[in-house]
Amino acid sequence: MVRTEVAPEGVVQQHDAPGQPGRRWGTILTYLLGAAVVGTLAYLVLSPLVYLVWRGITTGDGLSIDNIGNAYSGSGTGKMIFNSVVFAVGSAAVSLVTGSALAFFCVRSNAPLKPLLYAASIVPLIVPGILFTITWVFLLSKDVGVINIALRSMGLAWLQINAFSLPGMIIVDGLHLSPLVFMLMFAALRATDPALEESALMSGASIPQAIRRVTAPLVRPALLGAALIMVVRGLESFETPAVLGIPAGNWVLTSRIYDALHSYPVRYDQAAIYSLTLLVITATGLIFVQRVNRRAERFQTISGKGFRPRPLDLGAWRWPVSIGFGIYFFFVVVLPLAMLVWMSLMPFYQTPSISALGTVTLDNYRRLFGATDGVLVAIKNSAILGVTSATAVMVLMSIAAWLAIKSKLRGRQFVDTLAAFPLAFPGLVMGAALIFIYLRSPLPIYGTLLILFIAYVTRYMPYGMRYASASLMQVSGELEESATMSGATWKDTFRRIVLPLMAPGILAGWLYVFIVSVRELSSSILLYSQDTRVLSVTIWELWENGRAGVLSALGVVMVLTLMALVGLIYKLGGRIGVRDY
Amino acid sequence: MLRVHELCKAFREGTKQGRVHAVDKVSFTVEEGAFFTLLGPSGCGKTTTLRCIAGLERPDSGEILVDDRVLFSGSGGVFVQPNQRNIGMVFQSYAIWPHMNVFDNVAFPLRVGGRKVGKAEIRNRVEQALSVVELGHLAGRFATKLSGGQQQRLALARALVIQPSLLLLDEPLSNLDAKLRESLRFELKRLQREQGITTVYVTHDQSEALSMSNSIAVMQEGTISQVGDPFSVYLAPENSFVADFVGSTNFIEGEVVGPAGDEWQVMTGHGVLHVGKIVGVDTGDQCVVSIRPEHIEVLKNGARQGPNVLTGEVRTRLFTGEAMDYQISFEHGELRCRTPAAVRLSSGKPVTVHLPASLCAALRKS
């Protein structure tokens, strides 16, 4: 076959014919840039991995596997492994069932109140996990939990769940993760051609049969992928096991890593082994996810033509399903946020009631700006880290995306793999690895903001890459070529076509990385020092010191700020989608 | 005027060893003001040829000249950058810049590169270009808010605003629906004639090529199979590929027996057929006899005898609105035959047809 559709050449190559000095410089520059970016990526990604492995397999006497034996021989290890598995699988199950059922009804039914679900899928992106978990303490703790009190007053005491128990942890974490399942399954269901289902109906199948025999197998790979991701997320989860698990002695891998590094005597070897265990599991899980996704591509029914999902008529079930939507929204969004606001207005903790309204005060908000709690320093640190790491990630990843997509360098696929690798690093593992590297390193960055910066940049590279490459894809070859045919030089094309088209996507990516950096807890908790507390760490410390009021006030301010930023992302996201031909 | 001489371009194929010749020694000349079409199936090298003319691909060898200006010469080491060529091009996706409005899209070529055009003149020329394509009233609108047909005309205005010496069109109608496509054919043809601009058009749609072009080059696997005006390409195809690709045709395999007066005799499964001409074959050669469905005559009462008269049976009939399509089976194979809608034959009935020798041609099998 003769090929006419060739990938558009890089702009540099098009403009400088061989033999001209410009071309040679362009090529050399491309190689230098490529080498610099790949080198930085490789260092950021591989150094934690190498140090972690090294730390795990050596003792003072050289190579040895004693660490493994020591780490797993302690009492309670079996229980800890059991808890980890039950917690991860359980919370994955909760999020999968709720998330995918809601996604199905949202995409494929005519039930009203659907817009609530969009809100419910966005808010958990905003509320930091530590805040979400803490609010649930006040909703589900055994004696003072608002929900438990309500259940007791209705004579439904047998329905009570204690937050400080394995089932409590599972439910809280599951609810926090379910919006993620909702988004994943929403996309998968949207991509399924309703004609496939309709042809099943025309072949004589009933609606339940069509769902079972056509729809379900089609979305099964997506469902399997989501299940794996959720189990991995459950294993990585730190906030819930720390807040709800540690006080009751329900240990899991993540809380053990934290404990090994945060209680005297510090057990570095144990932390390294647990971290490696976690890393192996998450990496394996994500490799499986990739496999499943590749298999799912076979089923991809997305054609060039757009189609609308055909809503099923639920008939009498419309309102019951909608009430389900409402209840979900209430538990995931309204209740936690309302609790946060309530606590922030109370001078000391009281169960919500009319009589307590008399004590409403703004003292907690005033205290935020006092010097005693170090809140202002934390805000400053978080802002510095958010801005610098978001900028670094987007600059680095824009170049990496350009190398991976538009350049013709050999080995450019490698850039993609490197940039995606940190997805397998749980935050705690990253934190532990960085401690191992920089505790002994001659570079004096341990205990400075720089080490947090390195952690954030490494962890959020994959997201930056996703935004950068998506916005680079926006600029199709023909858009650049038509500028060239109009007489534009390389500089004109870059300044007037490529840059304006990429900018909204890059900006949205910047905001995303900024937000997740500000929320970050699990790496920061291992890497902060006296002077480098960040917001999430401050919330954690306020919680440990029992200062729920100030904590809630800080939470409210934080959520409102982040909400405004997310609103901005969505607006920019809309701008990115302007090209729909 | 455009002259392309022995143009070659090969690509490294990822899956195969070695290079694939996408364009292999292609030569043609387009007269000043003519509408020239490169027609062929996908992968025949037509788009690569166009992109070489544009300068978006660098040919391996050959020469490209526009109005005696050398744009590319393999032997002379000349390669004019695409932004220096003063060629207008309309892309398949139109490549309308989504972050600019209609006016800015058209004004862009006047604002960049070496062209230093004053503000007032930009306004004049853009307005004129927009009014030519009848988009003047939409100047302030965002480009993405236009319909498909409007985007296509916008892309055309943008290509014309630089007053190019050559206009390149890369399947500009393929993204539109059938009805719009037909009306835009007239539009495009009218504009091209009014502007008197030399145009190279790439398409895989034979009816587009036939209806719009002054001259057509049918391409196959990187080479030009036949060049000629639409009539000669359609009525006198030089090989079976062209006969088959341009329009539809019947092929009857056979062997050339020899001349018989003005005509030639070919031995086929249907017996000896008389053909008006032979192309690229000679006595004793294997060949195919090509006859177009609409050239086959249906004989009313089957009374006639003689050469090229065959009797068969109607297998299927299709009513297409303006005509009837019949599939007629004979002892040795089937023929398609198209008659005016008024001629109604019933399925399963015997039918006698005549293949006029002057419209039959024996072609080389390719």
Among A132-141, A424-433, B106-115, B133-142, the minimum mean pLDDT is found in B106-115
Inter-chain CB proximity B109 and A478 less than 8 Å: no
Six-digit token string for B163: 């007053």
CA angle A181, A183, A187 (to 5 degrees): 115
Percent share of chain A, pLDDT over 90: 23
Provide the CATH number for the domain around residue B136.
3.40.50.300
The CA distance from B214 to A489, in Å, is 34
Six-digit token string for A155: 């004579």
Three-state secondary structure of chain B: CEEEEEEEEEEECCCCCCEEEEEEEEEEEECCCCEEEEECCCCCCHHHHHHHHHCCCCCCEEEEEECCEEEEECCCCEECCHHHCCEEEECCCCCCCCCCEHHHHHHHHHHCCCCCCCHHHHHHHHHHHHHHCCCHHHCCCEHHHCCHHHHHHHHHHHHHCCCCCEEEEECCCCCCCHHHHHHHHHHHHHHHHHHCCCEEEEECCHHHHHHHCCEEEEEECCEEEEEECHHHHHHCCCCHHHHHHCCCCEEEEEEEEEEECCEEEEEECCEEEEECEEECCCCCCEEEEEECHHHCEEECCCCCCCCCEEEEEEEEEEECCCEEEEEEEECCEEEEEEEECCCCCCCCCEEEEECCHHHCEEECCC
Q: In this structure, are B200 and B255 located in the same domain?
A: no
For residue A474, the chain B residue with the least C-alpha distance is: B98
- The predicted pLDDT at position A573 comes to 59
End position of a domain, from candidates B211, B240, B269: B240
- The predicted pLDDT at position B33 comes to 92
Identity of the residue in B22, B89, B91 whose CB atom sits nearest the CB atom of A2: B22
Q: In this structure, are A343 and A380 located in the same domain?
A: no
Which ranges in A427-534 belong to alpha helices (H)? Answer: 427-440, 449-474, 477-485, 490-493, 499-519, 524-527
- A5 pLDDT above the threshold of 70: no
Q: In this structure, are B127 and B222 located in the same domain?
A: yes
Q: In this structure, are B55 and B77 located in the same domain?
A: yes
Q: In this structure, are B117 and B181 located in the same domain?
A: yes
Digit-coded pLDDT (tens) for A423-455: 888 999 999 999 888 887 788 888 889 999 999
Inter-chain CB proximity B144 and A578 less than 8 Å: yes
The CA distance from B135 to B101, in Å, is 12
Q: What is the mean pLDDT of residues A397-409?
A: 82
Q: What is the mean pLDDT of residues A230-240?
A: 91
Q: In this structure, are B259 and B174 located in the same domain?
A: no
Closest CA to A437 of A44, A11, A85: A44
For residue B264, give its domain range. 248-363
Q: In this structure, are A332 and A377 located in the same domain?
A: no
Q: In this structure, are A286 and A415 located in the same domain?
A: no
Six-digit token string for A61: 């006497």
Digit-coded pLDDT (tens) for B162-188: 889 999 999 988 878 888 888 888 888
Q: In this structure, are A397 and A546 located in the same domain?
A: yes
- The predicted pLDDT at position A579 comes to 30
- The predicted pLDDT at position A381 comes to 93
Provide the CATH number for the domain around residue A348.
1.10.3720.10
- A581 pLDDT above the threshold of 50: no
Q: In this structure, are A436 and A553 located in the same domain?
A: yes
| Number of domains chain A is built from | 2
Q: In this structure, are A294 and A378 located in the same domain?
A: no
Q: What is the mean pLDDT of residues B121-129?
A: 92
| Number of domains chain B is built from | 2
CB contact A305 to B (< 8 Å): no
For residue B168, the chain A residue with the least C-alpha distance is: A485
- Considering only residues A58 and B41, tell me which one the structure prediction assigns the higher pLDDT: B41
- Considering only residues B13 and A323, tell me which one the structure prediction assigns the higher pLDDT: A323
Side chain identity at residue B326, one-letter code: Y
CB contact A4 to B (< 8 Å): yes
Q: What is the mean pLDDT of residues A141-167?
A: 83
Residue A299 banded pLDDT, cuts 50, 70, 90: low
Residues of chain A with Cβ-Cβ distance to B109 below 8 Å are: 486-488
Would A431 be classed as within a structural domain? yes
The beta strands (E) that lie in A189-324 are given as none
End position of a domain, from candidates B173, B205, B240: B240
- The predicted pLDDT at position A1 comes to 35
Inter-chain CB proximity B56 and A481 less than 8 Å: yes
- The predicted pLDDT at position B6 comes to 94
Residues of chain A with Cβ-Cβ distance to B40 below 8 Å are: none
Between positions 494 and 553 of A, the ones with CB within 8 A of B are 496-497, 500-501
Inter-chain CB proximity B91 and A481 less than 8 Å: yes
Q: In this structure, are A369 and A325 located in the same domain?
A: no
Q: What is the mean pLDDT of residues B350-363?
A: 91
Digit-coded pLDDT (tens) for A328-344: 888 888 988 999 999 89
Q: In this structure, are A468 and A331 located in the same domain?
A: no
End position of a domain, from candidates B240, B258, B277: B240
Would A395 be classed as within a structural domain? yes
Q: In this structure, are A343 and A381 located in the same domain?
A: no
- A461 pLDDT above the threshold of 90: yes
Would A35 be classed as within a structural domain? no
Q: Please name the residues in contact with B116: beta carbons below 8 A apart, sequence gap of 6 or more.
A: none
ipTM of the modeled complex? 0.79
- Considering only residues A221 and A19, tell me which one the structure prediction assigns the higher pLDDT: A221
Digit-coded pLDDT (tens) for A93-143: 999 998 888 888 888 777 777 777 777 777 777 888 899 999 998 888 887
Q: In this structure, are B287 and B201 located in the same domain?
A: no
- The predicted pLDDT at position A578 comes to 32
Q: In this structure, are A295 and A416 located in the same domain?
A: no
Digit-coded pLDDT (tens) for B54-87: 988 899 999 999 998 999 999 988 999 888 889 9
For residue A562, give its domain range. 364-581
Q: In this structure, are A342 and A428 located in the same domain?
A: no
- The predicted pLDDT at position A15 comes to 38
Q: Which of B12, B25, B112 to mutate to test the interface with A (most CBs of A within 10 A)?
A: B112
Inter-chain CB proximity B113 and A486 less than 8 Å: yes
Q: In this structure, are B226 and B255 located in the same domain?
A: no
- The predicted pLDDT at position A298 comes to 59
- Considering only residues A69 and B31, tell me which one the structure prediction assigns the higher pLDDT: B31
- A371 pLDDT above the threshold of 60: yes
- Considering only residues A409 and B359, tell me which one the structure prediction assigns the higher pLDDT: B359
How many C-beta atoms surround the C-beta of residue A308 within 10 A?
7
Q: Which of A6, A480, A482, A501 to mutate to test the interface with B (most CBs of B within 10 A)?
A: A482
Cβ proximity of B23 and B202 under 8 Å: no
Six-digit token string for B165: 């010496």
Q: What is the mean pLDDT of residues B240-255?
A: 91
Residue A2 banded pLDDT, cuts 50, 70, 90: very low
Identity of the residue in B45, B46, B115 whose CB atom sits nearest the CB atom of A487: B115
Residues of chain A with Cβ-Cβ distance to B151 below 8 Å are: 581
CB contact A492 to B (< 8 Å): yes
Q: What is the mean pLDDT of residues B136-152?
A: 86
Q: In this structure, are B112 and B27 located in the same domain?
A: yes
Q: What is the mean pLDDT of residues A404-420?
A: 79
Inter-chain CB proximity A581 and B54 less than 8 Å: no
- B261 pLDDT above the threshold of 70: yes
Inter-chain CB proximity A487 and B47 less than 8 Å: no
The CA distance from B85 to B70, in Å, is 10
Would A129 be classed as within a structural domain? yes
- A303 pLDDT above the threshold of 60: no
